[in-house]
Every structure is written in structure tokens, then in C-alpha cells.
Amino acid sequence: MNSRVDSITRPDPHPPSPSLLPTGAKRERLRKWRYFKDRFSRYGVAASGLGVVFALALIFIYLFSEVMPVLKPVTITPLHSYALSPEHGQGTVHLTVERYQEVGAQWSDTGEVRFFNTHDGSLRKALSLPLAPDDQITAFGRGDSRDGLVAYGLADGRVMLARVKYQLTYPDDQRYIDPQLEYPLGEAPLVLDPQGMALQNITIQQSGQSFAVAAHTEDGRIVLARFAATVSFMTGEVQINRLSYELPPLAVHSQAMLMDKSLRTLLIADQQGLVHYYDVSVPAQASLVQSQRVVPEDVAITAFEYLAGTVSVIIGASDGSLRQWFLVRDEQNVHHFTHIRQFQSHPAAIVHIAPEYTRKGFYVVDAAGHLGVHYATSHRSLAIESMGHGPLQFVAVSPINQALLVQDADGQLHFNTLFNAHPQVSFKALWHRVWYEGRAQEEYVWQSSSASDDFESKFSLIPLTIGTLKAALFAMLFAMPLAIMGAIYTAYFMTPRLRGLVKPSIEIMEALPTVILGFLAGLWLAPFVENNLPAVFSILMLMPLFMLLFGFFWLRLPNQVRLRIPPGWEAALLVPVVLIVGWLSVVMSPLLEIWLFDGSMRQWLTDIGINYDQRNALVVGIAMGFAVIPTIFSIAEDAVFNVPKHLTQGSLALGATAWQTVVGVVLPTASPGIFAAVMMGFGRAVGETMIVLMATGNSPVVNFNIFEGMRTLSANIAVELPETAVGSSHYRILFLAALVLFVLTFIVNTLAEVIRQRLRKRYSNL
Amino acid sequence: MTLREWFKSGAPWVWLNAGAVTLSMVMVVGLLVLIAVRGFGHFWPAAVVETTITQPDGSQITVLGQVTRSQTLPASVIRDAGIEVAPEVTFVTRHLFKQGNRDVTGRDFVWYLQDGMDAWRYPAEVIMLERREWGNFYGYPVSLLEDGRVVTQGDEVFSELRTRVKRANDLHERIHHIERYEIGAVNFRMERVRLGERRLDLDDRIGDTERANRLAAFAEQREALNQEYRSYQQNLDALYRDLRRDVLVARTMDDREIQIPVGHIVRASQPNNMNVLQKSAYYLDRFWEFFSGYPREANTEGGIFPAIFGTVTMVLVMSIIVTPFGVLAAIYLREYAKQGPLLRMIRVSVYNLAGVPSIVFGVFGLGFFVYVMGGSIDRMFYPEALPAPTFGTPGLMWASLTLALLTLPVVIVATEEGLARIPSTIRQGSLALGATKAETLWRVVVPLATPAMMTGLILAIARAAGEVAPLMLVGVVKLAPNLPIDGNFPFIHLERKIMHLGFHIYDVGFQSPNVEAARPLVYATALTLVMLIIVLNLTAIGIRNHLREKYRGESD
């Protein structure tokens, strides 16, 4: 205090120079500016930091949002209800909606087709078949939905074929749809039954230029005719060739008939609940193969339709039940009409079934006014809703599955929009065995696409999951022993000089692009292994053996040699051993093949019933093991190396040998770290794409044979995602696969990370 | 010490553990050596072997070509393949001859058995021609034709051929230049005119006279461009005519004479007549072509320049994106965020993203970047190009963004580590002198942590350069017609698809119709990629070690 007063009162020997400090106002401004910069930095950094975290979280959110629509339920939204004008609209036999969902078509039992606008029911056009006034229609049948072919059977045994063609024109840049009728076999009715009896039930199908029509006549005979239209080059005249056959008779009252698109199968449902299966692949020798009861006693078949592709038949019954049947081939190459699955029943008798055009779904209406949406492959009944219009008669779906047209018993039409985008996906379809069309039993199959349009997509994730696990398993089998043992040695026994060389080398190996490992595996290792298969196994057996032998031999060496190399250099000493054993095994490989395997081990494996692919799980195991070793090695090495020194020294001081210390002290302490390392390695193996893509045949098989390939989730994504349609079920399933991979590896890695952190804490407490 | 005691002491386990390290190291080194030998060996002009083979039926054929590799197999393996071998033979040696002449024989790689093979001869006058189509040619020169007239015959042909090949290559160079740069630029401007017209079409706010004026301007531009194009085309026609002038007549191993236009020849050599110096020169020439040339023959020949260029461009764009965001995120997590269980969770999650399979990032990139973001950009800014997508399709931009996302954790982890390593005394010193937090951070802490950030960035680049799986979904193609950077405005074309070294390996090695011919090139490409990545990693490790030493000194 005193001195301060002094300094003020005492005169200053040096006159005060003007202060270099800024003035108060300026300092104030500067302080504000600095304060602003500080705040700006704080909020700027926080915003970008959180932004980054959000961007990373977005990956999960987005993948999830792409998968979610799969779970969206089917919705049917009523839009318009109307009746067609009174002179029309009675005696409906068939109902359709065209692709743009603007025009509906109603086929009547008098041979008239009424085209109306779907939004208000106003008539756009009415066309009649060119029949004579005294021709009497007695039966109606239709072909596959996509062909749009229909057949009217007449009372005199003749038949009339027709189909609708929608012509698109664009007057004033507006789409206009003009429906027209086409007669593929001419405008005159054709003779089906030469005896001229009335046709009771009729079915038609087209295959290429050939048409087949089958009918059940009034007097119980079954007649089949094949028509082919040829156009004469000279005159342009259409020539119709007809071949007619009479099939073995059936003394029943038929209810409905179906013929498949390959024109080989004729199915007749009778009124007693039986289905009769005729093999008509050679019509002249057609035979009744099987008569099968398809519904319980006292229950009648009320609806009988093929699904798209004409393999599966859906049978609706008077008790409201719905069953899927198709022909299954047994070992003797004989087809049997077989029950596949039953869908959720409707509360009343099934009235009409409308199959989808390209998928295996179908729409059902019943006598109590319910509309049902079902899907065959995934065995789902997606919706059964009461429409509130009383009993329903007909249902039609648009070719793109976005609109439904329903007709009730009073002839009223109801137009609905439909959302039914992902009926193929269900937990069962993805993870359970499914009985696919044309297969002998339930199977796990992944086959997402094919050249044909009415192909049944097979979306079982089991083969891909098994493939992923198989690849990871073999990789871990190869990598785990090498990496963990190597880590223990490097961390605990190796001299620091060598360690300084080994550790970075293996870390660089981690950065090696997997595409290089994959290419070497596919182009170099796979043929090498194939040609030197015995070498692989002899290396496996001889390598440890010779290492031990060398160790024992080293022990027996005179001390002046042995002591020249201090402990910790064993790894370097073993280099020649490894090289020699490897070289010897390769050289001996052809000899071994001759001595033990009749000259070719590959052939020998095939002979004892083991399939051998050149690009197989063994190759993948080695290559991917190679990619995984550094991951496991570096984490495990850290864990072992960081075991507190006083623990190991205590153990050694108590007289334990170095190895006993490792087993008794080091490993128990470091085991969580080693476990974490293995988990990280597993996480990497599960998600690895390029190696599997290049080193396997990518065939989705379900087995753990080491000599066969596999297809993994990740490789499947890489192969199929660029080619699939955006938003399709397939697209979303691939996203689901990605999400599964993401979540799986994320959980595994997080667990490993948590274990490591706890271990670190434990070490610091010890 | 007896065996039993030895086992009891546990020493055998130590040896086994040592063996695991040895085996791993031998595999790593072996892999690198394998790639290096095959990769470097590809460019060396191997001797051309001629030999006569007596077949089982007594007929003789002459074989001419380079021996690619030889194998000794048990005879039964060969028999299983349907080739007849005498019953008393147990081992069969066979040689894979690269006999070229794919246009003549249809097969350029053929296995021949050692049995019945004469001694190998190395005729000095054999020529090897690298051609622009049909792969290599091996044979004997007969004569040279100019416009159908014989110019030289006999021994003089080869030296004359070399001068004419050089002339043809110069012509090719000029053609290439005109096609790629000059006509390329005309096409680019032409497309701009087309898009301009389309944009005018879509814009209904423009009045009629204005519209007519602009249309006229476009028509004028188009006419000018067409004019320019025609003049280039005339130039090209003349050059092509010149190129077709010379034709080489050569004899194949089965004594057929064929005509090879000199314009189709890239390089002519007589491998059996070269000394080591000449071979070295040839080697360097091919090596240079490999790095600077464009691919030929469905990528199985020629160079990989576009792939190197594409990889580098993509990685650079990625670095520009990933560095600021990664560093800011790390600074936030380490310096600003409130430390607690939530932050620990976030941090672990971010770290673990590094372990998420890269294909998942690819799926995200394709779905979100390409379809969602790219689609929106197209609708907003490029309506005139629709329905052809501009950004709504895989391309450089999306590839870089996806990889940036993939490598963010790498940069964040490295930066955080660097920030954590800076002694708190330095920070406290700065704060004690009255600096604000931001000043401490940006003037003291961050500069000190720059090397750590560099390490992170280099590791990120190394990872990105080797990543292929996500790129297959978001922007890499087997053959990109244009480089992503060229002389046309705006110079960097982020929407273009690129070629990539890693994908090139996959594509050439596994999708190419002639895998045997492509194999050496794949090894060479792999070698390039491996070298690039090892150099990057060593740099990163070097920086890191240097840093550790530095801070160990300072914090003590």
C-alpha cells in the first residue's frame, strides 16, 4: 500500500510517453469483436459437429425409411360407385380394367362387351361379337389375364374367340384410349364339338400362334381342339388349321375348367368337390391322371382360377376357404395335383377370384360382401374387408395392381384405388422354407429375377445369411489362430527391434485394398489351390509339426550356437522352416495326388460325393482371413502388450516359466481384449464385399461345404442393387439386407469397443 | 532336457506362436513380392520361342509364341480334361504359349504338352507386333506395301517397318488429339446449344420476339459449330487416308501370309534380337505407356491413365469435403461438447462407423445421394436435360460424397487423438494470458494438431483409394468416355462417371472376355494401387511417429 502511494507522489524522473495501449473505447470494441469471434467459433463448430453426427445418423434413418414401406398395410379406398345404364349391366360373365385404369370392360352373357369410364360409369363404347341372332351362348371361358383372350361356347358346339385391344392415341397431347375387339381366329365361330352338342364349360389358352380350347359338352364328353392361324403369303388370307380330339369322358357335372399356358394340363373341377387332372401334352393320347378331392366333404368348389403363369390354382369353396394347389413332379417324373397351402378363410362362400397379371397375388370376393387380398408365395392374407355393398359378384384388378373394380349382386360397380406394393415380403417369405411353384418341396431359395415375366420371385434371405456366416466362419478359422498366437508372441516374447518391424508391416496389411486380395484369390489362389489341393492340407499338418521339430532341434544345438541368438528371435529363425515346408508341400503335391488320390484329388473328392468349385469357401477363407488377421492382430496385440508389467513379473518371480505366465496371468487378464479383437474381425469378415465377390462363384447355396462357393449379403447387394427397379420389393429387400449388415456390424463393434474401454479401465486400476 | 520336460515348460507353444508371426509375415511379404514380380514382369519383352510339336497321330505343327507359364501335373488330371496321354506316363509338363494372332487362329493362349515337343529355338528375325485390335502378332516379316506396291522385301523390312510404325503412331496421335479435344469440345458446345433450346422451350415467361431472337442465335451457333465440325472431319478423313497407306505382309507360324495395316500396329519389335539395353528401353517405353496411355482392346491392353486420373480426382474431391467436416466434428466432440455418457455414446458410435461394411455406405449413397438428392437437383436445375439424368445418376460427385462419409470416422478419430495429445499446460498457458477459448483453439491448439489431422487425412485417402464396393454403386464405370476434368467450362465435371484403379482390377480381371490376356495388366494395375496405398500409409505412420516423439519431449 505504502509503496504505491509513494510511486504516485514521487516525481517521475522520466516524462511519461504517450500510452501505446488502445483507448478505452477501442478496447471495448476489440473486446466485443473478440467475444463475437469466440461465440461464432463456438456455435459454428457446434453446428458443424452436430451436423456431421446427424449426417452419420442419417445413414441409419435413411436405410430404415427405405425398408419401412414394406410393412405398410394394404389399403383399399372406395372412389366411385355407379350402375351402368339399365339396358346394359346385366348378365356379367367377366370384368376387367385396363393398364391406365381409365376404362373398365364388362363382358355379358349375350356376347356384348361394354367399355365404360371407371370414374363415373358412363359408357364409352359397346361392342358385340359378330354372332348370328339364333346363336345361343351357353359357356364362357378365358385365358391368361395378360393375353386377354376369351371364348364363348355356343349351344351348337361351336366356339367364338375374341380379345380386347386398347389403342392409344394422343390427340392434343392427351392420352385417349380406344378399346377394340380382335378376333385372332377370324370373325366366324369355329367348330369345337363335331357332334354339335351344347358346350357347358369351356376353357381357352394361347401358346405362341397355337390356341387350345377344351370344353365339357352337355352329354358329358370332353372335347379338345387345337387351332393354328397361318396367313397365306400370296393372298393374305387367314387359314385356320383345326385338330380336334375327344378326351376320356367324365361322368360328372363340371363346375369349371382350366388349361395351362404350355397346353399340357387340363383341370376340371366338378360339383362334388373333386378336381380331375388330364395330361394333354400329347392330345391324341390324353389321359385322366388323377381325380383328387380338394375341399372337405359337403363343401362345393365355387371358384377355380389359375394365378399368373398358370402353374398354381386357387380354389375357393362354399365354406369360404381358399386353397392353393399345383402340380408337383415326383421322382418318377409323374405329376401330382398337390395341396400347397391354405389362406385365411372368408366368412362366406367364395364367389369370384381375380389373379394379378404379373405377380402371384389374387383378389377374392365372397357372398357376404367381403373383399380379400391374398398373396400366394408369401402365404399372406393381406386384407379381408367388408365393402358394405351386400353380396359381391365380380372383382377385377388393374394390370399394375393399383385399382380394383368390384361388382355387387345388384349390378352396381364400385371403383377403388388400391395400395398393395409389397405383398411378397413377409417374415415367413424371408426366413422360412417356402414351397415355390414347380418345386418338389419347401425350400430356401434366393432367386430375385429371371427372363420371364410371370416368374415367381424367391426372396429367402437364408441362403445369403448362411453364405455370409460360412465365409466369415472359414475366414475366422484361418485368421483367429494365426492372429491371436501371433499377437501373443509379438507382444510378449518378441524383441523390441523385431516388433518395431512386424507391427507396422501387419498394420499396413490392414490398409491393403480388399479388391487386390480378391483378385489374387480369384485369379491366382483359386487355380493354385485347385492344382495343389494336397499341398494345402499338407501345409496345414506339416507346418506346426516342423516348427516344433525345429524348436526341439534348436534346444539340442550346442550352446555356443544357441546363445548367439538371444530369445525373442524365434520368429526370424523360423522363416527358413516356413519357406522350406511350404516349398516341399507344393513340390510333393502331385506325388501325393498320385499316391493317395489316384492322380487327382479334385476328381477323388467328386467321386466320394463332395462337390468341388474352383472358387470355393477354402479360397475365400484364406483370402478373407488374410484381410481379417491385421484387425485381430493389432487389437489383440495391444491388449496383451498393455497387461501391467508387475503382474507378469510377479508371476515370473514366483517361478513360473514364461509360457506359464502367459497362460496363467497374461491371457486371463487380456482375454476380454482378445475377445473384442475377434469380434471386430468377425464384423469385418461379415461385411467384406470384394473378396467374396471375386473369389466365389456367387451361387446362393445352403451348405457349409468348404469346397463350394456361397453368396453373401454384401456381394448380393453389389451384384443386384444397380439392376433393380427403384422402389420395388426387391430394391427394398436389398436395403433390408444392407440395414441388417449395418445393425449387425454396428452392434458387434460397439460391444467390442465397450469391452475394450472397460479393459482399459481395469488395467489402469491394477 | 527331455521332450517331456520341454513340453511341460511350454516352450513348444512359444515356438508355435512364433511360427504364427512368421507365417503371417511370410504371407504378407510373399503377397507383395508376387504382385511386384508379376506386375513389373509384365512389361519385359520375353523371348519368342519357336518349336515343332509331333502330335499323337504323327502330324507336326509349328508353334511360335511367348511362354507364359509352365506346369507339371499328374497325368490323370490331363486325361480327365480329355487329352490323350500315353498310359505309362505319370507326370505331364505343359507350357502355356501366348501365340497371339487371334485374328488368324482364334485362340491366343494355348497349352502345349512337353511330350512330343522339339527343342526350343529362338529365331532372331521373329517379329512381335502390338496391335490396336486382335492382340499381339507373332511371325516373320515378308514385305512392306505402300499403296499396294512393294517397297521393301527381305531383311530390310523390319527397320523400314519401325520408321513407318513411328509415322503411323504420329498420325494416330494427331487423330486422337482432334477426336478427343477438338471434336470433343465441339460436341460439348453443341450439347449446350441443344440444352439451351430445350430450356427456352420449357420457359413460358419469355415473349415471342425474344424467343425468336434467341432461337435464331442458337441456330447461328449451331451452324457455326457444324461448320467447325465439318472442317475437323475433313482433316480427320485426310489423316485416316494417310494412315491406311502402308501395309505389312507377314508370315505366321503355320505359313500363312497375312496383311497387317501399319496403322494398326502400336509397336514392332524383335525380342530375340534385342540386347539388354534395348530391352530396357522397350521396358521403359511400355511402362510409360501403361501409366500415361488410354486403355485399348476392352481394357486388356494399353494404359490405365484414366483410371489413375479418376482415382486421384475422386480422392481429391473427397478430401476437400471430408477435411473441414471431420476436423470440425472432432473439435466439437473434444473441445466444445459437454463430456458425459451421451457424448461417450456418440463418440463410440462415430468410431464404430469405421467398422460398418463399406457396401452399406454404397447402398446409402445410391439411394440417398443419387436417387433422392440427385433426382431433386435434376428437377430443380437441369429440367432441360430430363429425362436423361444429370446428377440423378451415379457420378464423381456422389462417389466422392459417399467416400467422404465413409472416411469421416477416420479423420475424426485421428484429429481427436491429436487434440487429446496436446498437453493441457499449453492450453492453460494460453488461457492464462487472457486469450479467449476460440483464440486458444485456433491459434494454439489446432496448429499443434495439424500433423495429426494430416495423418487422418492421409489414412482417409488411403482407405478411399482402395475402396471399390461402394463405388460400384455410386459412380465408377469400366470405361468413361471423358475425363472428369477437361478444357470445357466448368472444367471440373462433377456429374461425370469416372474410372477407378480398384474397379479396373475387378472389371478387367473378372468381367473381361479374355482373362488370360488381361491377367498381366491386372497385376500391373494392382501393383500401382498397392504402391500408392503403401506410400500413403508409410507417410501417415511416419508423421504419427514423428508427432509422438515430439509431444513426448514437450509434455515431460
pLDDT at res. B556: 42
Between CA B390 and CA B372 the distance in angstroms is: 13
Q: Which of B359, B463, B468 is the mutation pick for testing A, counting most A CBs within 10 A?
A: B359
> How high is the mean pLDDT of chain B?
87
Rounded Cα distance between B538 and A212, Å, is: 75
Q: Domain check: are A218 and A344 in the same one?
A: no
Give me the pLDDT at residue B448, please: 86
Q: Are residues A397 and A511 in the same domain?
A: no
ipTM above 0.85, yes or no: yes
Chains A and B form CB pairs within 8 A to the count of 345
Q: Looking at the predicted structure, is the pLDDT value of residue A530 above 60?
A: yes
Q: Are residues A247 and A357 in the same domain?
A: no
Do A304 and A263 share a structural domain? no
Nearest to A139 by CA among A122, A121, A159, A125: A159
Query: Has residue A86 got a pLDDT over 80?
Result: no
E runs forming strands in A183-284: 190-191, 199-207, 210-217, 222-231, 238-247, 254-259, 265-270, 274-279
Q: Dig out the grid coordinates for A524 from the structure.
A: 491366382
Task: Say yes or no: A255 and A357 in one domain.
Answer: no
Choose one of A402, A427, A452: the last residue of a domain: A427
A723: its cell numbers: 439392376
Compute the Cα dihedral for A660, A665, A666, A667 and give only its sign: positive
CATH code (residue A725): 1.10.3720.10
Number of structural domains chain A divides into: 3
Task: Give the position of cell 349382386.
Answer: A409
Q: Are B127 and B162 in contact (CB under 8 A)?
A: no
Same domain, A422 and A504: no
The answer to whether residue A2 scores a pLDDT higher than 50 is: no
The predicted pLDDT at position B8 comes to 84
Task: Specify if A84 maps to a domain.
Answer: no
Asked, for residue A8, whether it belongs to a domain, the answer is: no
A517 and A662, same domain (yes or no): yes
- Secondary structure letter of residue B491 according to DSSP: S
Residues paired with residue A165 on neighbouring β-strands, in sequence order: A180
Q: What is the CATH number of the domain that holds A333?
A: 2.130.10.10
pLDDT band (50, 70, 90) for residue A629: very high
Chain A: residue nearest B346 by CA? A53
pLDDT band of A466, cuts 50, 70, 90 = very high
The rounded radius of gyration (Å) of the Cα atoms in chain A is: 39
Domain membership of residue A375 as a residue range: 297-427
DSSP conformation letters of B341-402 = HHHHHHHHHHHHGGGS-HHHHHHHIIIIIIIIIIHHHHHHH-GGGTTS-SSSS--HHHHHHH
Q: Give yes or no for a contact between A482 and B24, defined as CB atoms under 8 angstroms apart.
A: yes
One domain for residues A135 and A284: yes
Within a domain: A54: no
Contact B28 A505 (CB under 8 A): yes
Q: Does residue A22 fall inside a structural domain?
A: no
Bigger pLDDT: B542 vs A674: A674
pLDDT tens digits along A10-54: 556 666 677 777 788 888 898 899 999 999 999 999 999 999 889
Give a yes or no: residue A733 inside a domain: yes
Q: Phi/psi class of residue A185: alpha, beta or left (left: φ > 0; alpha: ψ in -120 to 50)?
A: alpha
Min Cα distance A766 → chain B (Å) is: 23
In degrees rounded to 5, what are phi and psi of residue A61? -60, -45
Handedness of CA A338, A340, A345, A350 (dihedral sign): negative
What is the percent of chain A where pLDDT is above 90? 32
pLDDT value of residue A566: 84
Interaxial angle between packed helices B446-466 and B305-331, expressed in degrees from 0 to 180 and rounded to the nearest 10? 140
The answer to whether residues B501 and B308 touch, using CB atoms and an 8 Å cutoff, is: yes
The per-residue pLDDT string of chain B (556 residues; one tens digit each, 9 = 90 and over) reads 678 888 888 888 999 999 999 999 999 999 999 999 998 888 888 889 999 888 878 888 888 888 988 888 888 777 777 777 777 777 888 898 888 888 888 888 888 888 888 888 898 888 898 888 888 889 888 888 888 888 888 788 888 888 888 999 999 889 988 888 888 888 888 888 888 888 888 777 877 888 888 888 888 989 999 999 999 999 999 999 888 888 888 888 888 888 888 888 888 888 888 889 999 999 999 889 888 888 887 777 888 999 999 998 999 899 999 999 999 999 999 888 888 888 888 888 888 888 889 999 999 999 999 999 998 988 888 877 777 888 888 889 999 999 999 999 999 999 998 888 888 898 999 999 999 999 999 888 988 888 888 888 888 888 888 899 999 999 888 887 788 887 777 788 888 889 999 999 998 888 887 788 888 889 999 999 999 888 888 888 888 778 767 766 554 4
Q: Cα separation of B68 and B94, whole Å?
A: 11
> What pLDDT band is residue A88 in, cutting at 50, 70 and 90?
low
Q: What is the CA radius of gyration of chain B?
A: 31
CA distance B128 to chain A (A): 26
Confidence of residue A173 (pLDDT cuts 50, 70, 90): confident
The answer to whether residue A80 sits within a structural domain is no
Contacts of B90 in chain A (CB under 8 A): 594, 599
Closest CA to B346 of A538, A23, A54: A54
- Residue A756's H or E segment, with its range, is helix A729-765
User: What pLDDT, on the 0 to 100 scale, is given for residue A544?
Assistant: 92
| Helices and strands (H and E) in chain A: how many | 18, 31
Please give the grid coordinates belonging to residue A103.
376404362
Say what the pLDDT of residue B555 is: 47
Is residue A252 included in any domain, yes or no?
yes
A550, A574 contact by CB (below 8 A): yes
pLDDT at residue A614 tops 90:
no
The grid coordinates of residue B555 equal 509434455
What grid cell was written down for B399? 462417389
Is the distance from CB of A223 to CB of A204 less than 8 angstroms?
Answer: no
pLDDT range class, residue A129, cuts 50, 70, 90: confident
Cα–Cα distance, B120 to B124 (Å, whole number): 13
CB contact under 8 A, B363 and A734: yes
d(CA A447, nearest CA chain B) in Å: 20
Instruction: Give A448-484 as a DSSP string.
Output: ---SSTT---EE-SHHHHHHHHHHHHHHHHHHHHHHH
Is pLDDT larger for residue A285 or for residue B2?
Answer: A285
Q: What is the DSSP string of A525-563?
A: IHHHHHHTHHHHHHHHHHHHHHHHHHHHHHHHS-HHHHT
pLDDT over 60 (residue A4): no
Which of A40, A63, A516 should be substituted to probe chain B, the one whose Cβ sees the most B Cβ atoms within 10 Å? A516
A611 and A626 part of one domain? yes
Find chain B residues with C-beta within 8 A of A603's C-beta: 76-77, 80
The whole-angstrom separation of Cα A406 and Cα A394 is 6
* B33, B332, B360: best to mutate for the A interface, most A CBs within 10 A: B360
pLDDT at A722: 86
Please report the pLDDT score of residue A3 as a whole number: 47
Average per-residue pLDDT for chain A? 87
pLDDT bracket for residue A91 (50, 70, 90): confident
How far apart CA A302 and CA A318 sit, in angstroms, is: 6
Please indicate, yes or no, whether residues A205 and A318 belong to a single structural domain of this protein: no
Examine the fold and report which residue of A293, A317, A340 is the final residue of a domain before the chain moves on.
Answer: A293
What is the nearest CA distance from A249 to chain B, expressed in angstroms? 55
> How much is the pLDDT for A1?
42
Say whether pLDDT at A293 is over 50. yes
Answer with the one of A272, A293, A314 that is the final residue of a domain: A293
What gap in Å lies between CA A162 and CA A211, rounded to an integer?
12
Residue A495 in any domain: the answer is: yes
- The predicted-structure confidence for B291-348, as pLDDT tens digits, reads as follows 888 888 777 788 899 999 999 899 989 999 999 999 999 999 988 888 888 888 888 8
In Å, how far from its chain's centre is CA A556? 61
Ramachandran region, residue A111 (left: φ > 0; alpha: ψ -120 to 50; beta: rest) = left
Tell me the per-residue pLDDT of A234-254, one tens digit each, with 9 for 90 and over.
776 777 888 888 888 888 888
Co-location of A134 and A180 in the same domain: yes
Contact assignment for A513 to B533 by CB distance below 8 Å = yes
Smallest Cα–Cα separation from A95: which of A365, A386, A383, A316?
Answer: A365
Same-domain check for residues A726 and A577:
yes
Residues A483 and A497: their CA atoms lie apart, in Å, by 20
